[in-house]
Amino acid sequence: MEAISEKAVTRLEDALGKENVYPDNPHRAVRAAVPSPFPVCHWEEHIPDIVVLPKTTEEVVEIMKIANEFKIPVVPRAGATGLADGAVPMRKGILLDIKRMDEILEIDDVNMTATVQPGLGMLELNKTLSRIGLFYPDDPASYPCSIIGGRIGSGGWSLMGSGYGHVPDLVISMEVVLPTGKVIRVGGGGGRKIRKSSVGYRLKDLFIGHSGTLGVTTEATLDLCKKPEAECPAYFGTGSFEESHDLALALERLGLKTMTAVVIFDNEKIEFLRRDDEAYIPQPKEVVSVVLALLYGSEGEVLAARKQVFETAVDKMKATYLGDEIAKGDWASRHDRYHITYHGRNAAGEVSMMSWHCEDAAIVHSELPYVRKKWHEIVKRYKREYDGYFDDWGMFMYTSNPFKAYGDYLTEVDIGVNELEMTPEIWQAFIKMKSEIAAVALEAGGSISTCHGGTRPGDVELACHQELAEGSFDLMKDIKKLLDPNNIMNPGKYLLDEAYQ
Ligand SMILES: Cc1cc2nc3c(=O)[nH]c(=O)nc-3n(C[C@H](O)[C@H](O)[C@H](O)COP(=O)(O)OP(=O)(O)OC[C@H]3O[C@@H](n4cnc5c(N)ncnc54)[C@H](O)[C@@H]3O)c2cc1C
């Protein structure tokens, strides 16, 4: 793709105003970066040709029309915290930064909906909602820095999703600008606030988790909840991952409506946290693995559920309660844990200049031990072979079934990656490691990603050609070509270029 022509730049400036179009290098370069290891190796190759910051749907329509006419790629970028490189301009072109589209358009406290522009953050929305006793329960670990358009683009997963639902459940309807510039509304039937309808195809889901390849969400109507009166994060120590796995099942089986998540921290995770996390350093050596039961609801509900949880965990399964202070502190720090770029200690206790990277998959409860064993074998093998470049920082497993804390788990292995010294050879090893990790998820009947999307090298080939091989990927290509005849929307993602060959 040739750099963008002067004529196209002038058209963009006419449509948005010169002050909202950035052809200069600093604005472009900063928008090639995302937090996954990708950019350190390759970000310079993906600096967009121009950055635009629209404010309205009409301006997004104009951008699409210009992009189509001049056949320029368009890449939507929200908070750019996506871990699957969704916002990286693979073919450069126009970087459509949605951050100026940050208005709350309506709060309907009777029907419990908020209609917002996509550049708004959950934090800002919740500040406003808390004044009227409501909240929007999308709560990812990236809560302070990811924003609603990106949450929709990646089909995000929430730490509270087993109680309140995840992004696909929380978006009631949306306005979307298609790659041709046409504006559509998708949701339950045609109603903006209707959660359940049986009219038409379920098109809303097509425009969630598409990684910016099918259009730009310009407005979304979201489902709100009453702010819960009480919160109880209960952390229990066990003697092994196997004990935690059994305890998690026993807690799931309680069938509590207030159970918002069941989380397992495996042995390697506790070992890692013990190196420099103040909540885990003092834990006795008997605490090898940990289970969190998270309860949200009214005071009465949470109190009653807490009693049942403790009877199961402590009296019946003999787990050790870690105490109120650790429980409250650990849960309260859930949004801060991974924001520090370089952190972590190696097994010798030295600070290691590695950054956090996570591979996630959706795995059913019964397959967790198999996946855990295989993933650690893979990561430890790469750690041995490429000493100083990779480290095994342990695994978390969170319930991910929406509104039901049982069954599916977002299963995550955290890998320390030495980005600063990464060579092309190490980069290839990293891709190979990712591919082996993804293959295990498929062997276990899982899905390669619960929330990040399978758009990265190492995942993407398996996602498209194995996980979606039974006709789904072929249909995806047909849909892509139908909606985006010139392949302008985030080209180079999901192997969708195959549709145009
Ligand atoms: C520390 C940390 C913790 C994380 N924890 C979680 C977690 O708990 N749960 C979770 O789900 N994820 C998590 N992530 C990943 C990331 O935060 C999510 O993928 C998030 O949804 C991305 O939102 P964003 O605003 O950063 O979007 P971006 O990364 O900017 O974009 C994500 C995708 O959406 C597309 N997009 C952006 N805006 C639009 C739009 N308006 N219309 C159409 N497409 C659009 C982009 O092109 C891209 O493909 C974490 C990441 C970090 C760094």
Question: Mean pLDDT throughout 117-133?
Answer: 97
SS (H, E, C) 253-285: CCCCCCEEEEEEECHHHHHHHHHHCCCCCCCCC
Q: Tens of pLDDT along 147-167?
A: 999 999 999 999 999 999 999
Mean pLDDT of 86-112: 97
Percent of the chain with pLDDT over 90: 84
Tokens of 412: 């995550």
**Domain formed by 1-227, architecture:** 2-Layer Sandwich (3.30)
First to last CA, the chain: 16
Residue 352 has pLDDT above 90, yes or no: no
193-218 pLDDT, tens digit each: 999 999 999 999 999 999 999 999 99
Beta-bridge partners for 230: 297
Would you say 483 and 214 are in contact if contact means Cβ atoms under 8 Å apart?
Answer: yes
pLDDT at residue 454, as a whole number: 82
Sign for the CA dihedral angle at 76, 154, 113, 159 comes to negative
Angle, helices 6-16/57-70, rounded to nearest 10 degrees: 170
Contact 158/167 with Cβ under 8 angstroms? yes
CA dihedral 433, 439, 441, 446 (to 10 degrees): 150
List, for residues 35-82, the tens digit of each pLDDT value.
Answer: 776 656 677 889 999 999 999 999 999 999 999 999 999 999 999 999
Residue whose pair of structure tokens reads 């309205």 in the numeric block: 56
- How far is residue 118's CA from residue 102's CA, in Å, rounded to a whole number? 6
> What percentage of the chain has pLDDT greater than the value 70?
97
CB contact at 8 A, 492 and 91: yes
Query: Is the CB of 153 inside a 6 Å radius of any atom of ligand 1?
Result: yes
User: Please, what is the average pLDDT of the chain?
Assistant: 94
Band (pLDDT 50/70/90 cuts) for residue 342 is low
Atom of ligand 1 nearest to the CA of 156: 11
Question: Which of 146, 206, 411 has most ligand 1 atoms within 8 Å of CB, for mutation?
Answer: 146
User: For the chain, what are the domain ranges?
Assistant: 1-227, 230-454
The per-residue pLDDT for 434 is 95
How many C-beta atoms surround the C-beta of residue 303 within 10 A?
A: 14
Q: Is the pLDDT of residue 464 over 90?
A: yes
Are 159 and 139 within 8 A, CB to CB? yes
Among 52, 75, 154, 218, name the best residue to mutate to test ligand 1's pocket (greatest count of ligand atoms within 8 A of Cβ): 154
Banded pLDDT at 432 (limits 50, 70, 90): very high
Q: Is the pTM here over 0.75, yes or no?
A: yes
Backbone φ, ψ for residue 164 (5° rounding): -115, -5
Beta-carbon count within 10 A of 494 CB: 25
Which of 55, 64, 81 has most ligand 1 atoms within 8 Å of CB, for mutation?
81
Ligand 1 contacts CB of residue 452 (under 6 A): yes
The strand pair at 94-97 and 21-22 is best described as unpaired
> Angle 234-452-247 (CA atoms, 0-180°, nearest 5)?
25
88 lines ligand 1 (CB under 6 A): no
Is the minimum distance from the CB of 81 to ligand 1 under 6 angstroms? yes
CA of 360 to the centre of ligand 1 (A): 14
**Strands ordered across the beta sheet of 74-77:** 21-22, 50-52, 94-97, 74-77
Q: How confident is the model at residue 234 (pLDDT cuts 50, 70, 90)?
A: very high
Both structure tokens of 375: 């993933």
CATH class of 230-454: alpha beta
Q: C-alpha dihedral over 287, 449, 460, 439, to 10 degrees? A: 50
Exposure string (b/e) for 60-94, b if CB count within 10 Å is 16 or more? bbbbbbbbbebebbbbbbbbbbbbbbbbbbbbbbb
Q: Which long-range contacts (CB under 8 A, 24 or more apart) does 13-18 make?
A: 15/59, 15/62, 15/63, 15/66, 16/52, 16/53, 16/54, 16/59, 16/62, 16/63
What is residue 25's three-state secondary structure? helix
> Cα separation of 420 and 378, whole Å?
22
pLDDT at 39: 57
Look up residue 16 and give its amino acid.
L
pLDDT higher than threshold 60 for residue 246: yes
Q: Residue of the nearest CA to atom 27 in ligand 1?
A: 150
Burial of 36 per CB tally in 10 Å (0-12, 13-18, 19+): buried
pLDDT at 191 over 90: no
Task: Identify the pLDDT of residue 1.
Answer: 40
